[in-house]
């Protein structure tokens, strides 16, 4: 058995992604796409995924350590199961073969795989008491390695210490408890996991907002970014024309604009793009 799949296994698991990958096989959605998604709302992302047939990518009902920070990054998934001695022995042996030499710190095995931009997404079957995957020390390690944070479908401890971390991180979790993690075994890293009602694959783009968590398949990430940017641009145009009293609220506040408004919008957007290019050329000169 293996704790982590081979790169070939991950490529097969995430075969819809045709772009760059990490050495371990995980999809590597470009940083610039992640930054665009950071500006998206949960509803904007959900709308794109639903239209593409991905109806079950949202999970709600979370606590957060840093509620003002939007969580965006690439998922490193992991799963814990209730402890069973013979299974735990097999996991410890497999972990040793893969370089994990601390059998009683299996939550640290996950952290050792993280790189900048990763989100640690861990399913510990909603366990809170004795299910605290991280405290302030391990959370500090996650923040240092990723600059992003984590999603824990279970518990955390040392909430006050974690909440003092800076650097724009955020940790989504079910609840806090003073107990330490025990009576569980790590089932694997970078395998499909269930978080709430969502199935999460390694390399999914995680978007965490006050509304909850959206897990975006990598091959749809650019579409979400583009759709969100288009909505924001249309919002600017619509408010401008309302302020100018060119159109009524009934004309603007609809799902699809009539053709004359859409044509006006496309002309306006082209003018804005030309003005932006001219401004950039002036700055360079």
Binding-site residues sit at 135-138, 157-158
Evaluate whether 42 touches 172 at the Cβ level (below 8 Å).
Answer: no
Q: How far is CA 191 from CA 43, 89, 142, 243, in A?
A: 27, 20, 19, 51
| Cα(77)–Cα(92) distance, integer angstroms | 19
Angle at the Cα of 72 (from 43 to 133), degrees rounded to 5?
110
| Cα(89)–Cα(188) distance, integer angstroms | 14
Enumerate the known binding-site residues for substrate: 135-138, 157
Enumerate the known binding-site residues for Mg(2+): 158
Q: How far is CA 4 from CA 31, 43, 94, 190, 225, in A?
A: 24, 33, 9, 6, 30
The 3-state secondary structure of 154-181, one letter per residue: EEECCHHHHCCCCCCCEEEEEEECCCCC
Structure tokens at 157: 């401890």
Evaluate whether 218 touches 43 at the Cβ level (below 8 Å).
Answer: no
Structure tokens at 218: 């990598």
| Cα(147)–Cα(188) distance, integer angstroms | 23
């Amino acid at each position: 058995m293996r704790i982590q799949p081979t790169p070939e296994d991950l490529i097969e698991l995430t075969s819809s992604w045709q772009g760059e990958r990490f050495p371990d096989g995980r999809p590597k959605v470009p940083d610039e796409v992640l930054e665009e998604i950071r500006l998206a709302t949960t509803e904007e992302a959900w709308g794109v995924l639903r239209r593409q047939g991905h109806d079950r990518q949202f999970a709600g009902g979370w606590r957060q350590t840093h509620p003002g920070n939007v969580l965006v990054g690439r998922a490193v998934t992991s799963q814990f199961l209730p402890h069973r001695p013979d299974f735990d022995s097999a996991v410890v042996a497999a972990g040793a073969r893969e370089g994990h030499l601390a059998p009683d710190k299996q939550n640290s095995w996950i952290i050792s795989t993280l790189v900048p931009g990763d989100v640690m997404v861990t399913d510990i079957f909603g366990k809170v008491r004795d299910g605290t995957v991280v405290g302030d020390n391990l959370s500090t390690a996650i923040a240092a390695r990723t600059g992003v944070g984590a999603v824990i479908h279970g518990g955390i401890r040392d909430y006050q210490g974690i909440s003092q971390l800076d650097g724009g991180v955020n940790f989504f979790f079910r609840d806090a408890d003073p107990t330490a993690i025990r009576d569980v075994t790590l089932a694997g890293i970078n395998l499909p996991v269930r978080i709430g009602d969502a199935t999460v694959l390694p390399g999914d783009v995680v978007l965490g907002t006050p509304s909850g968590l959206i897990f975006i398949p990598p091959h749809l990430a650019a579409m979400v970014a583009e759709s969100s940017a288009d909505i924001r641009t249309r919002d600017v145009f619509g408010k401008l024309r309302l302020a100018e009293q060119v159109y009524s609220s009934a004309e603007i506040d609809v799902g699809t604009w009539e053709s004359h408004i859409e044509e006006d919008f496309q002309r306006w957007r082209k003018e804005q793009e030309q003005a932006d290019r001219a401004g950039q050329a002036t700055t360079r000169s």
